[in-house]
């Protein structure tokens, strides 16, 4: 059971990574949610024993490679986000749907803020509030996943 779960975790992470590699451009590029982080958060909340801070860091490195930025930027952002997610993971059972969305939104924003800070240190300019749009589209995707039956705390409700 553990093996199959690990398999599905890594397959879904691979799928998310390929989504990142699509030739996005223009508006779609501005709106593109952070697929990899969404999948990491999903597994982190659903099965924290298989997917943890280390997984987030590892995937962050691959995202760094794909974006062509300095190594370690996404890795650090994902690590910090995954840590916050892991600390409050137990409380998620008590949240209703709206609260859960707010929780995921704040996690996505944390990752973007960390990334923005790191980029600013290396001399980038803030491109305006549109920078935070991927977080909004991110929770829309999350809601879609929930609507399709992917519940993070299924086990606690039904069993």
Partner 1 sequence: MAQGFHQNFEPQQAPAFFVRGPSPFARLVFFAAFSLVLMATDSRLQYLKSTREHLMAFVHPLQVLANTPADLYRTTNTYFSTHHYLLNENLHLKNQALKQAVALQQLQSLALENNNLRALFDTHQSLPQPSIMGEIMHEGRDFSNKKVVINRGTHHQVLAGSAVVDATGIIGQVTRAYPTSSEVTLITDKSLAIPIQIERNGLRAIAFGHGRDNTLDLPFLPANVDIQRGDKLVTSGIDGIYPTGLAVAMVKEVKITADSPFARIVCIPTGGIERHKHILIVSIPTEETNPTEPDTTITKPSTQHKTPALQEVTDAPVAIPKSSAQPTNPNLVSKPHATE
Q: Which residues bind partner 1 (CB under 8 A)?
A: 14, 17-26, 29, 48-49, 52-54, 56-57, 60-62, 65-73, 75-76, 79-80, 82-83, 86-87, 118-119, 122-125, 127, 131
Q: Report the residue number, 37 or 53, with the smaller CB distance to partner 1.
A: 53
Least CB distance to partner 1 at residue 83 (A): 4
Least CB distance to partner 1 at residue 6 (A): 14
User: Using CA atoms, how far apart are residues 88 and 21, in angstroms rounded to an integer?
Assistant: 31
User: Using CA atoms, how far apart are residues 123 and 95, in angstroms rounded to an integer?
Assistant: 39
Q: Report the residue number, 69 or 101, with the smaller CB distance to partner 1.
A: 69
Least CB distance to partner 1 at residue 38 (A): 16
Q: Which two tokens stand for residue 131?
A: 């920078």
Q: Report the residue number, 53 or 104, with the smaller CB distance to partner 1.
A: 53
User: Using CA atoms, how far apart are residues 115 and 141, in angstroms rounded to an integer?
Assistant: 21
Q: Report the residue number, 7 or 24, with the smaller CB distance to partner 1.
A: 24
**Residue 68 φ/ψ region, left for φ over 0, alpha for ψ in the -120 to 50 degree band, beta for the rest:** left
Neighbours of 131 (CB within 10 A): 15
**Is the CB of residue 138 less than 8 Å from the CB of residue 39?**
no
């Amino acid at each position: 059971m553990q093996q199959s779960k690990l398999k599905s975790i890594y397959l879904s992470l691979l799928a998310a990574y390929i989504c990142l590699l699509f030739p996005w451009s223009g508006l779609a590029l501005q709106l593109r949610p952070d697929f990899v982080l969404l999948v990491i958060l999903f597994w982190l909340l659903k099965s924290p024993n298989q997917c943890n801070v280390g997984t987030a860091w590892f995937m962050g490195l691959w995202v760094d490679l794909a974006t062509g930025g300095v190594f370690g930027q996404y890795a650090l952002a994902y690590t910090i986000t995954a840590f916050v997610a892991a600390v409050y993971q137990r409380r998620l059972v008590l949240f209703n749907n709206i609260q859960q969305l707010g929780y995921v939104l704040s996690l996505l924003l944390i990752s973007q803020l960390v990334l923005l800070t790191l980029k600013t240190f290396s001399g980038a300019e803030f491109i305006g509030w549109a920078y935070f749009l991927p977080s909004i589209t991110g929770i829309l995707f999350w809601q879609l996943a929930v609507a399709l039956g992917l519940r993070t705390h299924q086990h606690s409700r039904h069993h």
